[in-house]
Chain A
């Protein structure tokens, strides 16, 4: 009875307001997400007791304990490339894709950096830019945002992810099969450290910011694999004459065989074999073959042609491990 005067209009509004405030306090933590209760929300606990001391049932409430939820700093980085990304020696604008996820419970900015010289690979890709995806998941330097550390560190809500593109140049000296690793590092701008380290007052909503199990920084590696191919040409000649010998006498026929061998894990495109007809010999019309199949001398649908001074066979794209055999004949004048 001491502290609860009842009656009079002026007392009615005040307690009803405090009841509303209590309801609001209970409503706040409902926003719980996978990353956890949002930083800055309040956990309120009140218990009640009911009993009967002879005058009927009575209910009392305990004191209310309010806990401010602090911000947990957690981030993970995942490579989005399911396998090593093929590249070629000297290639520019080679792209590795990563995703950065805020696993904390507060909105946070993350500073991005790359490590390309950590070893465990054959060469160091030269990182030229980092881009922040515009949301379509596809790299396009025209529409994605060029990242500048400290200027546009991506800001992520709890559970939010962003796709990051790391753009690199492949050194010219690498050879087929070489692997180059680039790691993307994302670190909470508020701070990083050992799990449990805290930054007083720097959490979202006015609480502390506490380093979570990830150390508030995350990293993952992506890799390029050099996929190059080399072409070896081997040319041989066989002479036949009317005498039945291999002597290169006038009138003898020379059959040239050119074997193109493509080696490596990549492929070559636009491969063409061209050979000038030697002096003092004459090309035998329609004598070009490719893989044993006769080719016409005209520039037409088939791969071979003869223009009066040289034969040419367009092989197009040939994958590593394959060979192409071209033959043609001349006669000795």
Chain B
């Protein structure tokens, strides 16, 4: 048992450490609040999540940067959705999503969910368990970018 654990950690830890010198992925979460001014104009504000209650819209922002000396090929970012968050949208970023815990992936409008009566229904944002962006081209040395998605606190 001890040996197995040791091997597992040995495989995991150096990978993280090495990667920290090359590619960085930063995760920030904001609360999206809509305020209406005296003229009735709505403004959307992104706030630090000091107070979070059910129904709040969260904006998850992922910043990636390749600070290494080699291009990062087959670049895939995966974000498991916290269980207490219902997926809302991912803006224009068109991610792949999973509705089965990360086993299979597709565009949300192409996925279906099996029902008890044998039929299938179209997948809804509610069903999403994971979000993934798979980049077609390598991230060049020094390249960076930002991804985002929105969710609602259940």
Contacts and interface: CB of A to CB of B under 8 A. Distances in A.
Contact of A48 (B25, B49, B70): B25
B121 interface: no
Interface string B40-59: 00000000010111110010
Contacts of B79: 45-48
A297 B58 CA distance: 88
Interface string A47-67: 111111110011111111101
Interface string A85-105: 000000000000000000001
Nearest to A105: B54
A108 B79 CA distance: 34
A72 B53 contact: yes
Which of B10, B27, B84 is packed against the most chain A CB atoms within 10 Å?
B84
A67 B20 CA distance: 24
Contact of A49 (B54, B55, B77): B77
Contacts of B94: none
A4 B27 contact: no
A35 B153 CA distance: 11
Given A6-B13, A12-B2, A62-B27, A43 B82 contact: yes
9 contacts: A1-B14, A7-B10, A26-B83, A45-B79, A47-B78, A67-B49, A70-B53, A208-B51, A210-B53
A50 B22 CA distance: 12
B5 interface: yes
A41 B52 CA distance: 11
Contacts, number: 159
A37 B153 CA distance: 7
Which of A11, A52, A57 is packed against the most chain B CB atoms within 10 Å?
A52
Count class of interface residues, chain B: 35 or more
Contacts of A11: 9
A217 interface: no
Contacts of A43: 52, 58, 82, 84-85, 153
Given A6-B10, A62-B27, A64-B27, A52 B82 contact: no
Interface residues of A, number: 52
B85 A49 contact: no
A212 B53 CA distance: 9
A68 interface: yes
Nearest to A50: B76
Nearest to B81: A45
B79 to A, nearest CB: 4
A68 B51 CA distance: 8
A60 B20 contact: yes
B70 A60 contact: no
A70 B55 CA distance: 11
A67 B62 contact: no
A285 interface: no
A62 B26 contact: yes
B74 A57 contact: yes
A238 interface: no
Interface string A1-24: 111101101011001100000000
B17 A4 contact: yes
Contacts of A26: 80, 82-83
Contacts of A45: 27, 29, 60, 79, 82, 85
Interface string B111-139: 00000000000000000000000000001
A226 B111 CA distance: 61
Contacts of A32: 83-84, 154
